[in-house]
C-alpha cells in the first residue's frame, strides 16, 4: 500500500485527526492505493471511469452506469442505528449496540478493499458559514470511483472543509466498502450487508453495496440519520426528509418558503421542482431549493429557518418527463455532467430511456439494452412486458443545473420557513389541503403521515402505511423523544410556520379518476395556505383543520368539474372516524409520546364526534 501520510500531505489534507482516521481505516480495509478527491478532480475521475468502462457516454457531457442487479435500492432490513445507550432504541431505528456493530463491520471490512483504490472524500453538508456547519463536515472513504463521482455532484467536496474545522475532530467518519457484490447473499438469510450509523460516535460504516443511499454517505446516512441524532443531542435543529421550495409573488414582492415531507411515490421531487401553472406565471415564480433533505433551526429573530444540506439531486427517473417535471428534464440535459444509473441505454446512439419518459418506449429496438444490460430486441415473449429501466433507476445532477434553482440556494443563512406540509398518496379521506395552526396538532399530523399501501396485501383495506414525517427509514432515536424535540424546536419560534396536510391523489370512488389535475396546479393549494397565514382568507373549519372555501382557491385558467372540486374540499367523516382507530394503534407503539400529542389526537377525535 502507498505511504498514506505522503498521499495525504501531497493532497493538502492537513487535519491530523482526519489523517489518523484515514490511516486507521486504510489499515483495516487494505486498499492498494489512496487518493484524496476534490471537485476539481471530477473531469479526470470521469475520464478514468470511462476508460475503465465503469461509466459510458450518454450524450454530450452525460454518463450512464449500471449497478449490480441485486444492488439497486436501499435495504431497510439491513440498515441499523447503533449507539452505546440501549435507551436509544425506537420502533423504527433497528437499534443495536455500538460495540457489537463496530466489531462486526470491522471484521467484514478487513482486507475487503485489497486491489482497489481508497478515495478519501472530504465534504460539507451545508453552505460554508451556515449556523449548522459544525454538524455538516464529513470525510467519506470509499473503494468505488463511481461513488466518488456521485459525491462530487451531491455534496460540496474539498479538503478545505476539513482543514479549517474549529474542532479538528468534529467531522463525521463515513466508511464505505463495496464488498464482493456477487457473493453477499442479498435478500437471503445469509445476507452479509450492513449499513450502520453509530450515531453517538458520529461514525457511519456501510458494507456491501455501491448504490445510492447505501453508498453515498453524505446524503441519507449523514444528512438524515446522523443529523437527526445530532439535532436531538444538541437540542439545536431538526433534520428531515423534506423538500424545500420558494414562491415569489411578483406583484407584492413577498417571498414564501415551504418545506414538506412526503412518503416515497407521493410526488416530493416533482413538487420541489415545480413551476407555476401557465395562467399564474406572470404573477408567481417558484424557486427550487431541495428535493429530499432539509435541516431546520430557529434563528435569532424567532423564525424557523431551513436549508438543503445537499448539493445535488439524486432523483428517481421513472415517470420523469416534460409534463411531470420539466425542470428535472432540463437539469439532466447535455452538458450538465449528469449521471444516469440503471435506466435503459442505447449502446449505438447513447440515448437513455425509462418508463414514463415518453408514453411508449422507442419503437426501433436497435441498440437498446435494459437496466440489466440485456438486449431488448432479444427478449422472449415472457420478458416482453418487463420494464426497460429499474423502477428505482436514478439521475444524479448538481443543484446549479436546475433551471429554477433559487438565487440564494447557497446562502449560508438559509431561508425563513413559512409553511410545513405533509402529504401522502391517498385515494380518499384526505382533502386537497387542510391547514393546521396549532403546533401539537401539526406535529401529530406529521406523526400520523401515511400513504396507501402499494399492494392491497400489505395491509387492511384502507389502512395507511404510516411514515412519520416521511422519516420512517431514517429515524435515529425513539419516536416519543422525536415528537418532543419537534415540539421544543418549533415551540421556540416567535413566528411559527403554519402546518398543512396536502393530497394531490384523491380519486372518484365510482370511476377512479383523479379529482385534482396535480403537478403545476398544486401551487394553487400552497398559495391559499400562504394567504391563510397572511390573514387574507379565513377558510372553513373542519374537525381535521381549516379547508379552503371554494372561492378562496385561485382557479384562474383551470377547468375543473365543480363536483370534483366539492369533493376535494370536504372531508369524509365516516372514513376519518375509521382512520382515528388506526392512528391510535400506530401512536400506541411509541413510548414516551408527549401528552400534547395525545391531547391533539383526542381533540380531533372529539371534533369527529368520537
Ligand atoms: C431515498 C432517496 O432513498 O432519496 O429516500 O434516495
Ligand atoms: Mn429520499
- Cα separation, 264 vs 260, in Å, equals 13
Pocket test for ligand 1, best of 155, 220, 471 (most atoms within 8 A of CB): 220
pLDDT in tens, 197-217: 999 999 999 999 999 999 999
Please name which ligand lies nearest the alpha carbon of 79.
1
Above 70 in pLDDT, residue 459?
no
Radius of gyration of the chain (CA): 24
Q: What is the residue-averaged pLDDT of the chain? A: 96
- Cα separation, 122 vs 119, in Å, equals 10
Return the ligand 1 atom nearest residue 241 CA: 5
Confidence of residue 415 (pLDDT cuts 50, 70, 90): very high
- 204 CA distance to ligand 2 middle (Å): 18
pLDDT of residue 242: 98
pLDDT of residue 406: 98
Q: 311 or 1, which is more confident?
A: 311
Pocket test for ligand 1, best of 150, 219, 320, 395 (most atoms within 8 A of CB): 219
- Cα separation, 455 vs 452, in Å, equals 8
| CA-proximal residue: ligand 1, atom 4 (nearest) | 292
| Alpha-carbon distances, residue 530 vs 17, 420, 430 (angstroms) | 47, 11, 20
Q: What is the mean pLDDT of residues 41-45?
A: 98
- Cα separation, 545 vs 445, in Å, equals 10
- 124 CA distance to ligand 2 middle (Å): 18
User: Do residues 179 and 31 touch, judged by C-beta distance below 8 A?
Assistant: no
- 292 CA distance to ligand 2 middle (Å): 5
Please name which ligand lies nearest the alpha carbon of 195.
1
- 218 CA distance to ligand 2 middle (Å): 12
- Strands annotated E in 432-531: 433-436, 450-452, 464-466, 498-502
Q: Which residues line ligand 1 (CB under 6 A)?
A: 74, 212-213, 292, 314
Of 569, 561, 571, the closest CA to residue 517 belongs to 561
pLDDT in tens, 513-548: 999 999 999 999 999 999 999 999 999 999 999 999
DSSP assigned state of 222 = I
Q: Which class for 585: exposed (0-12), middle (13-18), buried (19 or more C-beta within 10 A)?
A: exposed
Confidence of residue 453 (pLDDT cuts 50, 70, 90): confident
Cα angle vertex 314, ends 308, 317, to 5°?
Answer: 135
DSSP assigned state of 201 = G
Torsion over CA: 468, 471, 473, 477 (sign)? negative
Q: What is the mean pLDDT of residues 144-173?
A: 97
| CA-proximal residue: ligand 1, atom 1 (nearest) | 213
Please name which ligand lies nearest the alpha carbon of 394.
1
Count of beta carbons in the 10 Å neighbourhood of residue 187: 12
Q: What is the mean pLDDT of residues 267-296?
A: 97
- 213 CA distance to ligand 1 middle (Å): 6
| CA-proximal residue: ligand 1, atom 6 (nearest) | 213
Amino acid at each position: 500500500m502507498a505511504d498514506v501520510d505522503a498521499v495525504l500531505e501531497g493532497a493538502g489534507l492537513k487535519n491530523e485527526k482526519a489523517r489518523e482516521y484515514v490511516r486507521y481505516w486504510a489499515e483495516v480495509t487494505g486498499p492498494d492505493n489512496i487518493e484524496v478527491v476534490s471537485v476539481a478532480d471530477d473531469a479526470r475521475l470521469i475520464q478514468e471511469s470511462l476508460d475503465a468502462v465503469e461509466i459510458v457516454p450518454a450524450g454530450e457531457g452525460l454518463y450512464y452506469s449500471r449497478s449490480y442487479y441485486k444492488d439497486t435500492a436501499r435495504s431497510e432490513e439491513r440498515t441499523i442505528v447503533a449507539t452505546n445507550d440501549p435507551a436509544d432504541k425506537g420502533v423504527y431505528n433497528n437499534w443495536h449496540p455500538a460495540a457489537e456493530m463496530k466489531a462486526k463491520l470491522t471484521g467484514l471490512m478487513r482486507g475487503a478493499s485489497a486491489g482497489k483504490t481508497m478515495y478519501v472524500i472530504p465534504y460539507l453538508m451545508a453552505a460554508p458559514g451556515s449556523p449548522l456547519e459544525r454538524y455538516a463536515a464529513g470525510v467519506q472513504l470509499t473503494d468505488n470511483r463511481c461513488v466518488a463521482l456521485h459525491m462530487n455532484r451531491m455534496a460540496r467536496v474539498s479538503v478545505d472543509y476539513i482543514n479549517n474545522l474549529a474542532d479538528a475532530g468534529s467531522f463525521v467518519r463515513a466508511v464505505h466498502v463495496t464488498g464482493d457484490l456477487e457473493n453477499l447473499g442479498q435478500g437471503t438469510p445469509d445476507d452479509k450487508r450492513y449499513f450502520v450509523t453509530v450515531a453517538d460516535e458520529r461514525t457511519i460504516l456501510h458494507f456491501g453495496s455501491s448504490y445510492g443511499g447505501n453508498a453515498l454517505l453524505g446524503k441519507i446516512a449523514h444528512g438524515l440519520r446522523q443529523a437527526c441524532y445530532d439535532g436531538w443531542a444538541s437540542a439545536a435543529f431538526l433534520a428531515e426528509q423534506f423538500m424545500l421550495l420558494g414562491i415569489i409573488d411578483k406583484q407584492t414582492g413577498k417571498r414564501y418558503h415551504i418545506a414538506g415531507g412526503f412518503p416515497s411515490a407521493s410526488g416530493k421531487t416533482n413538487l420541489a421542482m415545480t413551476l407555476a401553472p401557465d395562467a399564474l406565471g406572470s404573477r408567481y415564480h417558484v424557486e427550487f431549493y431541495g428535493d429530499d433533505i432539509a435541516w431546520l433551526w430557529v434563528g435569532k429573530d424567532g423564525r424557523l429557518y431551513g436549508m438543503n444540506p445537499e448539493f445535488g439531486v439524486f432523483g428517481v427517473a421513472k415517470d420523469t418527463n416534460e409534463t411531470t417535471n420539466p425542470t428535472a428534464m432540463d437539469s439532466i440535459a447535455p452538458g450538465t455532467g449528469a449521471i444516469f444509473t440503471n435506466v435503459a441505454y442505447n449502446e449505438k446512439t447513447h440515448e437513455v430511456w425509462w418508463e414514463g419518459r415518453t408514453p411508449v418506449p422507442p419503437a426501433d429496438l436497435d441498440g437498446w439494452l435494459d437496466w440489466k444490460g440485456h438486449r431488448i430486441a432479444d427478449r422472449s415473449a415472457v420478458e416482453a412486458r418487463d420494464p426497460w429501466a429499474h423502477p428505482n433507476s436514478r439521475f444524479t445532477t448538481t443543484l446549479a443545473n436546475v433551471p429554477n434553482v433559487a438565487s440564494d440556494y447557497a446562502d449560508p443563512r438559509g431561508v425563513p420557513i413559512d409553511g410545513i406540509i405533509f402529504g401522502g398518496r391517498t385515494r380518499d379521506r384526505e382533502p386537497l389541503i387542510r391547514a393546521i395552526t396549532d403546533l401539537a396538532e401539526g406535529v401529530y399530523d406529521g406523526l400520523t403521515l401515511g400513504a396507501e399501501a402499494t399492494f392491497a396485501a400489505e395491509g387492511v383495506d384502507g389502512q395507511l402505511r404510516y411514515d412519520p414525517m416521511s422519516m420512517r427509514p431514517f429515524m435515529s432515536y425513539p419516536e416519543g423523544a422525536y415528537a418532543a424535540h419537534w415540539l421544543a424546536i418549533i415551540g421556540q419560534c416567535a413566528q411559527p410556520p403554519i402546518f398543512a396536510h396536502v393530497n394531490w391523489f384523491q380519486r372518484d370512488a365510482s370511476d377512479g379518476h383523479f379529482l385534482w389535475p396535480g403537478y403545476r396546479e398544486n401551487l394553487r393549494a400552497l398559495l391559499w395556505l400562504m394567504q391563510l397565514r397572511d390573514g387574507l382568507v379565513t377558510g372553513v373549519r373542519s374537525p381535521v383543520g381549516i379547508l379552503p372555501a371554494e372561492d378562496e382557491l385561485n382557479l384562474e385558467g383551470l377547468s375543473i368539474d365543480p363536483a370534483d372540486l366539492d369533493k376535494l374540499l370536504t372531508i369524509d367523516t365516516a372514513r376519518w372516524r375509521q382512520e382515528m382507530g388506526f392512528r391510535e394503534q400506530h401512536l400506541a407503539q411509541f413510548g414516551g409520546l408527549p401528552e400534547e400529542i395525545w391531547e391533539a389526537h383526542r381533540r380531533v377525535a372529539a371534533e369527529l364526534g368520537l
